[in-house]
């Protein structure tokens, strides 16, 4: 068994899996075929449904992945061979040469500025040019340039230009054998290439673009600086059409639904509209599949607030006016009218395809692919490719970012489960010398000014800045370096600290966002506390942006150095304190989510308490009789329950509810209704949900009107009914429940197919609003249509009406697709009523975690922290989060295991050093700071009547400090005195 | 009145200038249109200077150096050839007949050849008539001869083609030519855009009309110029582009 | 030529990153601003702003993440509320509230950051040097 894990693919899935693994005691090899990690998410402008800036939310993960001492990045690399067995694989990785020494390259970009070769920029979807030597984007990790050998003619200019001497033309492919215990495949997806669909003229018509191209057009860092303009002539388009299902739900390309396009098109249209309020945006679609958490509300807002026009039609072809380059769309609306409409621009919502390397990956790893070329997986094992090899993200089928991230954590849990016994064996901790006590010493400051080759020194007069720095109070040493970040300079800094007894170090160079940790580590090696370091940015925010005014840039650099020196006088050594962790978990809810999470934690070697309010385990899964793909849920449930009961780490508490929760991450104490007290370090909320019980359509009044779950139970016993009508979206997507319950369309299809099998003569109707059989579930929708199930679409304005006439049921329906009225005489009416949350308010208050407006639990971040809460140490999975399928619930449940392991795998957790504190002398107990904290880290001490900070929960934003009226609150490293010192030093005196 | 062209000749000190002297000593008559500027080596003739000559009113420019292999500075004449080849590309972009720039090898012993070359070149330029190029186009072309990328590539051409590249691989002439053509074309359009925008800000569409190039090509180059901080976008309908002040 | 002096409080996650991106994209803007990095825009205390003016700043810029994008969930909303109060306060002190700006810059908006600094510099030039207690 080997305590390391390989992750293949460095997109958001790969990064999340790597971070979870590395944070819970495993060494990670993250392999990406591209020279940098980041994947597709790095290209996106904003993310749905919150419209967060994609790069803003992703960049911290990028940096964390790049910087993590237990994540070993293998970029520009492909896997050529895999041998061995679960627990001990040997993987051969071939690293293509990048012709740039990764250790020496500073990422300054001078080479690319001069390179004579231009090539299309794939990162910008070919809308811009890059050079023959390049990085994909400025925030790239690793920030190391690479030579594109396809384009490079080998002229040798970059070698002449590079002051860091990083160019190495002699590099050859390198092979590395990596020993790992398990493997995670997170190879992502490729986009459908629309040039094969000639009828849309992509490639021929400049104003027909793909959705990803449009994403770059919308981006502030894209080709048009975020202005929405069209490529043919740079004009602002007044009318944009979005065509859905290009390369999805299509006999001629991909039959499956790509699951994300309805949402991304809506998002893009909204953003475009925000750029240009006069824009007329039309989305041509077949079914609007806004099935995820918060998606339906987003779709409604798109119509009511932004006035997007949704037209239900599949546009067959596009013509272009050669004169204006405008696009003519001829389409048939549902009522049969043919309409011809002109647009200025068309965006093709292209689908997701398996990555082009899928066959190769499949044969190297020996993992099966499904008929579409994605990974083949089973409903109860959604993350498993084969023993020891797991998968997450779009590699196993189209999915959105939150599902991807939940799966990534889930795959991390499964992979580490294989080698959980080896936890901590291969991680490296850097050992630093003992810290010098400088608290009583007067400040002795050393200032290092960087040339950054010519990046700073070419504009800013570095020697002058250095000279100036030497005149500042308490500065006892100054130096200038060609590259302050180079390895030899680190030695110079350490030497200077020792020789000149420096107790504060200031570096004036690039951005602390990437380089502060390096210098902090350097002074730690010299025996100084890392917080006795201050950095000021005279490159990114000075020399690079004031290139034409070198004298002013020099003055600014001096000011910035003076301000940094002023603050450094007041720097204090900071230590993170640590608290002990109770290395066990509490899982609330004994359904499939809770059972999976509990068993997962137990298999990782931690004790778990599983609390269930009923007298049996299983939750809602007990009511699921069969799956659409033929598995037996009850058999699975029995097996799972047995594994739980057999596992020595698991304690099951049935007929128990949580009465009281005290404590915080690492140290919770929970009291159950039985009176039992449980100490635990983390908590997983898996309380599930229930089938909504309707009040309409004679439900409860007539026995022939039932819900889908009731019908499923009936099917398991045999159904004789001749005419069955199913009505979807009953008390869903309306005023009763605004959200879409995600599963009902597929459940209706499943039950219809089951009935058809039992009773080939039955007439089955499914009355629906949009068929939301997303991703591979589309195949069952196809199958049901082929099996003669009649699908009839209704609009909410003309809902079906059910009446009882002389004991028989009459259903009046208006088929909105055909614009015809029907009268049906069903023997049985089955209502798809969706999922409702339980009343979660008590638990929400006890654990101090929020609910959304629908009553489900609200995660820390919709996109990137789908199973976390803002409150550390509390996680969730399953229907407690939102309606979802079994496989999705299992993925999430495993996701909580990995997230929980980042805490319970540690004996102690360290607090952030930069956090808030309270001066107890000054605090008057007014509590104005308490609601300021989004992390519940501030609490009133009832006895002392002052507010105290929970150091474990505080994230160090400083919001409370700026609110405190009595100056009792302070933020370490950003104290009022420290900030004021900078403000006071702002003007040269 | 018959047209009498103005021709500037750049003659290298060691061969062609000596050839001209020999023609004189030998009292060989030739057309009087040529004004010679002596340079030490034909390799010194900067494309920028050639364009300056055209800009200042020359109808033709004749560059002459030592015969291949005879260069006083070993390989200066080869470099001259590369430079003039690139200049021909640039001239054609600006709508100037390439033939208006002549390149000849004349040894110190070839007084007669010197006269013949001058005569035939004068004849040629006379037939071509006065240079009537658009001053804006000449300005753009001249700007281009100063372009870093082009100068670097031209300067490296000989070594790359003869000795191979930094990866130790041979560089095919066709590949290099294509690259140079691409660079010259792209740079010319960018310079043209900048020349026009210096006069007044314009939308991409207006630029396309002014420069008579397809609007999507203008858009592509505007993207590049904006990224390089040469121009910036001005909000409005339509979005216009302005030359950046910096 | 009068050159206004600006202090910029930039949040670590979005606007400081935007300023970095302006740099990596080599977007040029006037050199009048000096940045002070804070973890979150909500850390900026009204007192810091006043202190900046007292210490010779002609303008103060507070820049944070876009609403909804805050790294600390809701810090920037608090900043916004404080900003409204601060502007009123400045008026009471006789300081033109245009001297204080609150802007949202995402880490992808290097161009916007440069534009904000440029515009602010221009505006402060028209306002002229600050004269505390003299009706400004």
- pLDDT tens-digit map of A884-942: 999 999 999 999 999 999 999 999 998 889 999 999 999 999 999 999 998 889 999 99
Interface contact B205-A234, CB threshold 8 A: yes
Q: Which residue of A has its CA nearest to B228?
A: A113
Measured between CA atoms, how close is C56 to chain B, in angstroms? 28
User: 3-state class of A568 per DSSP?
Assistant: helix
Q: What percent of chain A has pLDDT over 90?
A: 92
Partner-chain residue, chosen from B179, B223, B239, that has the shortest CB–CB distance to A117? B179
**Residue A383 to residue A377: CA distance in whole angstroms:** 7
Out of B150, B165, B186, closest to residue A118 by CB: B186
- C108: nearest CB among A55, A958, A984: A55
**B contacts of A229 (beta carbons < 8 Å):** 204, 219, 239
Write phi, then psi, for A776 (nearest 5 degrees): -75, -10
Query: Residue C135 pLDDT more than 60?
Result: no
**C28–B244 CB contact, under 8 Å:** yes
Residues A213-251 pLDDT 10s: 999 999 988 999 889 999 999 999 999 999 999 999 999
Q: In chain A, what residues touch B175 (CB-CB under 8 Å)?
A: 153
List CB contacts (< 8 A) between A224 and chain B.
Answer: 223, 226, 233
- In the numeric block, the tokens 């392991």 are attached to A901
Q: Is A887 exposed, middle or buried (0-12, 13-18, 19+ CB in 10 A)?
A: buried
Distance CA A143, CA A141 (A): 5
CB A505 within 8 A of CB A474: no
**Taking CB atoms and an 8 Å cutoff, what residues of chain C touch B233?**
none
Count of CB atoms within 10 A of residue A841's CB?
Answer: 10
pLDDT in tens, A12-67: 999 999 999 999 999 999 999 999 999 999 999 999 998 888 988 888 899 899 98
Does residue C68 have a pLDDT over 80? no
A208 touches chain B (CB under 8 A): no
- Residue C14 burial (C-beta neighbours within 10 Å; 0-12, 13-18, 19+): buried
Contacts of A485 (CB under 8 A, 6+ apart): A106, A450, A509, A510, A515, A518
Please judge whether A227 and B235 are an interchain contact, meaning their C-beta atoms are less than 8 angstroms apart: yes
> What mean pLDDT comes out for the span B162-184?
94
Q: A-C interface: how many C-beta pairs under 8 angstroms? A: 185
| Nearest-CA distance A138 → chain B (Å) | 13
> What one-character DSSP code corresponds to residue B43?
G
HEC readout, A175-218 = EEEEEECEEEECCCCEECCHHHCHHHCECCECCEEEHHHHHHHH
ipTM value, please give it: 0.92
Q: State whether residue A213 is helix, strand or coil.
A: helix
Residue A631: count other Cβ atoms within 10 Å of its Cβ.
Answer: 14
Side-chain half-sphere CA neighbours of A673 within 13 A: 12
pTM of the model: 0.91
Question: A554 to chain C nearest CA, in Å?
Answer: 10
What radius of gyration, in Å, describes the C-alpha atoms of chain C?
14
**CA neighbor of A164 nearest in space, from A103, A116, A117, A115:** A103
Among candidates B175, B203, B216 on the partner chain, residue whose Cβ is nearest the Cβ of A206: B216
Determine the residue of chain C that is closest to B246 in CA distance. C28
**CA B142/CA B56 separation, integer angstroms:** 12
Q: Is A222 on the interface with B (CB under 8 A)?
A: no
> For A220, phi and psi rounded to 5 degrees?
-60, -30
CA angle A265, A271, A273 (to 5 degrees): 100
pLDDT of C134 above 70: no
Q: Which regions of A654-800 does DSSP assign to beta strands (E)?
A: 658-664, 667-672, 677-680, 682-685, 689-691, 705-707, 723-727, 763-768, 790-793
Residue B208 has pLDDT above 80, yes or no: yes
Please classify residue A538 by burial: count the beta carbons closer than 10 Å to its beta carbon, then call 0-12 exposed, 13-18 middle and 19+ buried: buried
Cα–chain-centroid distance for residue A46? 12
Could you give the CA distance from residue A65 to residue A42 in angstroms, rounded to a whole number? Answer: 14
pLDDT at A178: 98
The answer to whether the CB atoms of C38 and A979 lie below 8 A apart is: yes
Helix (H) or strand (E) holding B150: helix B148-163
Q: What is the dihedral of CA A36, A41, A43, A44, to 10 degrees?
A: -170
Question: In this prediction, what percent of chain B has a pLDDT beyond 70?
Answer: 99
* Residue C67 pLDDT greater than 90, yes or no: no
Q: Which SS3 state, helix, strand or coil, does residue C6 take? A: strand
pLDDT tens by residue, B27-60: 999 999 999 999 999 999 999 999 999 999 999 9
Inter-residue contact A970 to A952 (CB < 8 Å): no
Residues of chain C contacting residue B244, judged by C-beta atoms under 8 Å apart: 28
Contacts with C26 from chain B: Cβ below 8 Å: 229
Distances (CA, A) of A145 to A41, B154, B233: 20, 25, 29
Instruction: Quote the strand ranges of A426-577, DSSP E.
Output: 445-450, 475-481, 504-509, 533-537
What are the backbone angles phi and psi of residue B3, rounded to the nearest 5°?
A: -80, 130
Check C44 against A983: CB less than 8 A apart. no
CB–CB of A163/A453 below 8 Å?
A: yes
Stretch A138-166: mean pLDDT? 94
Q: How far is CA A637 from CA A298, A595, A626, A751, A970, in A?
A: 36, 9, 12, 20, 53
- Residue B38: closest CA among B58, B59, B11, B64: B11
Q: How much is the pLDDT for A55?
A: 86
Asked if the Cβ–Cβ distance from B166 to A225 is below 8 Å, we say no
Radius of gyration of chain A (CA): 30
pLDDT score at A408: 98
Residues B222 and B204: their CA atoms lie apart, in Å, by 8
Q: Which residues of C touch B (CB under 8 A)?
A: 25-28
CA distances from A604 to A2, A418, A679, A894 (A): 15, 9, 18, 11
CA A373 to chain centre: 24
Residue C24, pLDDT score:
86
Nearest to A500 by CA among A479, A484, A520: A479
What integer pLDDT is reported at residue A934 of this predicted model? 87
Best mutation target, B166, B215, B243, to test chain A (most A CBs within 10 A): B166
Which of residues 37 through 96 in chain A touch C, CB cutoff 8 A? 45, 50-57, 59-60
A667 C-beta neighbours (distance < 10 Å), count: 17
Angle at A485 between CA A482 and CA A488, to 5 degrees: 75
| pLDDT on residue A52 | 85
**Which chain A residue has its CA at the smallest distance from C52's CA?**
A983
- Whether A771 has a pLDDT exceeding 70, the answer reads yes
Counted across chains B and C, CB pairs separated by less than 8 A come out at 6
Confidence check: pLDDT of A562 > 50? yes
Pair of tokens at residue B173: 């002439």
Q: Which of A580, A568, A585, A520 is nearest to A911 (CA)?
A: A580
The pLDDT mean for chain A works out to 95
* pLDDT recorded at residue A51: 87
Q: Does residue A335 have a pLDDT over 70?
A: yes
Q: Quick one: how far is CA A595 from the chain centroid? A: 25
pLDDT of residue A725: 98
Per-residue pLDDT tens over the stretch A584-595: 999 999 999 999
- Decide which of B246 and A39 is more confident: A39
Report chain A residues whose CB lies below 8 A from the CB of C104.
none
For residue B207, what pLDDT band results from cuts at 50, 70 and 90?
A: very high
Q: Chain C within 8 Å of A312 (Cβ-Cβ)?
A: no
Looking at the partner chain, which of A129, A149, A153 has a beta carbon nearest the beta carbon of B160?
Answer: A153
Residue B246 has pLDDT above 70, yes or no: no
User: Which residue in chain A has the smallest CA separation from B206?
Assistant: A233
DSSP 8-state code for residue A925: -
Residue A185: φ, ψ to 5°: -95, 115
pLDDT score, position C136: 47
pLDDT bin (cut points 50, 70, 90) of residue A989 is confident
């Amino acid at each position: 068994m080997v305590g390391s894990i390989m992750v293949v693919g460095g997109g958001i899935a790969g990064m999340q899996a790597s971070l979870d693994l590395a944070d819970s005691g495993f060494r990670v090899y993250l392999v990406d075929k591209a020279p940098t990690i980041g994947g597709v998410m790095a290209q996106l402008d904003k993310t749905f449904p919150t419209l967060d800036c994609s790069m803003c939310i992703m960049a911290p993960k990028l940096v964390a992945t790049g910087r993590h001492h237990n994540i070993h990045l293998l970029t520009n690399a492909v896997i050529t061979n895999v041998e061995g067995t679960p627990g001990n694989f040997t993987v051969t990785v071939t690293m293509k040469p990048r012709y740039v020494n990764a250790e020496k390259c500073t990422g300054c970009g001078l080479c690319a500025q001069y390179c004579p070769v231009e090539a299309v920029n794939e990162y910008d979807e070919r809308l811009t040019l890059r050079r023959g030597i390049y990085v994909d984007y400025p925030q790239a990790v690793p920030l190391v340039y690479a030579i594109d050998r396809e384009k490079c003619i080998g002229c040798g200019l970059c070698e002449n230009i590079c002051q860091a001497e990083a160019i190495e033309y002699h590099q050859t492919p390198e092979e590395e054998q990596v020993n790992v215990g398990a493997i995670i495949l997170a190879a992502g997806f490729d986009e459908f290439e629309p040039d094969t669909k000639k009828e849309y003229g992509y490639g021929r018509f400049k104003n027909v673009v793909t959705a990803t191209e449009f994403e770059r057009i919308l981006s502030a860092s894209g080709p048009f600086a975020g202005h929405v303009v069209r490529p043919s002539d740079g004009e602002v388009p007044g009318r944009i059409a979005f065509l859905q299902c290009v390369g999805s739900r299509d006999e001629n390309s991909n039959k499956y639904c790509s699951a994300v396009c309805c949402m991304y098109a809506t998002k893009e249209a909204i953003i475009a509209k925000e750029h240009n309020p006069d824009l007329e945006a039309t989305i041509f679609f077949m079914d609007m599949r806004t099935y995820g958490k918060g998606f339906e509300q987003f779709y409604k807002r798109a119509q009511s607030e932004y006035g997007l026009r949704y037209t239900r039609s599949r546009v067959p072809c596009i013509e272009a006016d050669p004169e204006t380059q405008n696009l003519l769309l001829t389409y048939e609306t549902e009522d049969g009218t043919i309409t011809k409409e002109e647009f200025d621009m068309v965006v093709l919502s292209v689908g997701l395809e398996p990555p082009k390397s899928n066959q190769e990956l499949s044969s190297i790893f020996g993992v099966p692919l499904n008929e579409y070329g994605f990974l083949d997986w089973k409903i109860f094992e959604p993350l498993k490719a084969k023993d020891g090899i797991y998968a997450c993200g779009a590699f196993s089928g189209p999915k959105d970012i939150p599902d991807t991230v939940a799966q990534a954590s889930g795959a991390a849990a499964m992979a580490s489960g294989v080698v959980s016994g080896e936890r901590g064996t291969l991680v490296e901790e850097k050992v630093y010398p003992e810290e010098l006590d400088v608290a009583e010493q007067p400040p002795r400051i050393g200032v290092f000014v960087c040339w950054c080759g010519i990046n700073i020194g070419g504009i800013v007069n570095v020697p002058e800045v250095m000279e100036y720095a030497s005149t500042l109070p308490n500065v006892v040493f100054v130096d200038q370096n060609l590259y302050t970040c180079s390895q030899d300079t680190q030695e110079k800094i350490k030497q200077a600290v020792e020789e000149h007894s420096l107790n504060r170090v200031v570096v004036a160079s690039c951005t602390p966002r990437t380089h502060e940790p390096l210098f902090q580590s350097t002074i730690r090696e010299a025996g100084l506390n890392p917080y006795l370091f201050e950095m000021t940015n005279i490159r990114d925010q000075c020399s690079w942006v004031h290139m034409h005014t070198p004298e002013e840039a020099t003055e600014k650099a001096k000011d910035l150095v003076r301000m940094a020196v002023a603050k450094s006088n007041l720097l204090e050594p900071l230590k993170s304190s640590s608290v002990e962790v109770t290395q066990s978990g509490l899982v609330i809810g004994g359904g499939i989510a809770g059972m999976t999470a509990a068993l997962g934690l137990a298999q990782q070697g931690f004790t778990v308490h599983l609390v269930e309010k009923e007298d049996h385990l299983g939750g809602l899964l007990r009511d699921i009789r069969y799956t659409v793909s033929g598995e037996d849920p009850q058999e699975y449930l029995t097996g799972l329950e047995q594994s739980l009961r057999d596992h020595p780490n698991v304690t099951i508490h049935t007929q128990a509810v949580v009465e009281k929760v005290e404590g915080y991450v690492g140290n919770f104490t929970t009291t159950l209704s039985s009176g039992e007290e449980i100490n635990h370090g983390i908590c997983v909320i898996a309380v599930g949900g229930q089938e909504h019980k309707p009040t309409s359509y004679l439900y409860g009044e007539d026995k022939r009107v039932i819900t889908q779950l009731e019908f499923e139970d009936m099917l398991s016993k045999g159904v004789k009914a001749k005419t069955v009508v199913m009505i979807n979206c009953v008390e869903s997507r309306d005023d009763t429940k605004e959200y879409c319950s995600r599963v009902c369309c597929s459940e209706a299809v499943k039950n219809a197919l089951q009935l058809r099998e039992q009773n080939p003569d039955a007439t089955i109707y499914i009355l629906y609003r949009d068929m939301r059989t997303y991703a591979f579930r589309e195949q069952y929708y196809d199958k049901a249509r082929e099996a003669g199930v009649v699908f009839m679409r209704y609009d909410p304005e003309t809902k079906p009406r059910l009446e009882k006439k002389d004991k028989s049921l009459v259903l009046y329906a208006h088929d909105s697709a055909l614009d015809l009225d029907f009268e049906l005489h069903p023997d049985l009416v089955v209502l798809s009523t969706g999922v409702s949350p339980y009343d979660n308010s008590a638990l929400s208050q006890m654990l101090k975690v929020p609910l959304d407006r629908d009553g489900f639990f609200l995660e820390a971040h919709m996109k990137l922290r789908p199973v976390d809460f803002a409150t550390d140490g509390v996680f969730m999975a399953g229907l407690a989060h939102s309606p979802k399928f079994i496989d999705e619930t299992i993925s999430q449940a495993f996701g909580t295991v990995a997230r929980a392991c980042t805490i319970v795998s540690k004996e102690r957790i360290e607090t952030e050093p930069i956090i808030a504190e309270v001066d107890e002398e000054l605090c008057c107990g007014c509590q104005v700071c308490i609601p300021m904290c989004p992390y519940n880290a501030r609490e009133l001490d009832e006895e002392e009547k002052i507010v105290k900070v929970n150091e474990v929960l505080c994230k160090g934003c400083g919001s409370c400090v700026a609110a405190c009226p009595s100056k009792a609150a302070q933020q370490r490293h950003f104290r009022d005195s420290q900030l004021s010192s900078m403000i006071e030093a702002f003007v040269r005196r | 009145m018959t047209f009498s062209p103005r021709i500037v000749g750049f003659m290298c000190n060691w061969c062609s200038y000596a050839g001209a002297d020999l023609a004189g000593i030998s009292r060989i008559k030739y057309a009087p249109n040529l004004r010679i500027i002596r340079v030490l080596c034909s390799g010194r003739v900067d494309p920028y200077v050639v364009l300056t000559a055209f800009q200042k009113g020359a109808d033709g420019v004749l560059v002459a150096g030592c015969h291949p292999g005879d260069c006083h500075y070993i390989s200066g004449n080869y470099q001259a050839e590369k430079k003039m080849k690139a200049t021909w590309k640039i001239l054609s972009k600006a709508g100037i007949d390439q033939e208006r720039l002549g390149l000849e090898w004349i040894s110190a012993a070839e007084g007669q050849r010197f006269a013949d070359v001058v005569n035939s070149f004068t004849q040629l330029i006379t037939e071509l008539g006065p240079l009537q190029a658009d001053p804006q186009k000449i300005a753009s072309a001249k700007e281009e001869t100063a372009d870093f990328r082009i100068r670097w590539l031209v300067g490296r051409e000989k070594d790359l083609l003869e000795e191979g590249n930094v990866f130790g691989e041979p560089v095919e002439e066709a590949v290099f030519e294509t690259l140079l053509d691409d660079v010259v074309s792209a740079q010319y359009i960018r310079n043209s855009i900048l020349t026009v925008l210096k006069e007044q800000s314009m939308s991409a569409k207006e630029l396309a009309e002014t420069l008579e190039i397809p609007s999507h090509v203008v858009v592509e180059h505007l993207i590049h110029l904006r990224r390089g901080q040469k121009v910036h976008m001005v909000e409005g309908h339509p979005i216009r582009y302005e030359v950046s002040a910096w | 030529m009068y050159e206004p002096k600006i202090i910029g409080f930039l949040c670590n996650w979005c606007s400081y990153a935007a300023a970095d991106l302006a740099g990596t994209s080599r977007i040029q803007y006037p050199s009048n601003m000096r940045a002070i990095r804070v973890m979150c825009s909500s850390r900026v205390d009204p007192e810091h702003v006043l202190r900046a003016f007292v210490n010779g700043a002609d303008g103060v810029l507070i820049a944070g993440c876009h609403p909804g994008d805050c790294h600390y969930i809701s810090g920037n909303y608090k900043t916004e509320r404080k900003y409204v109060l601060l502007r009123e306060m400045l008026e009471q002190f006789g300081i033109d509230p245009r001297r204080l700006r609150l802007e949202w810059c995402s880490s992808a908006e290097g161009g916007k950051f440069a534009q904000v600094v440029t515009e602010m510099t221009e505006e402060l030039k028209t306002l002229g040097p600050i004269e505390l207690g003299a009706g400004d």
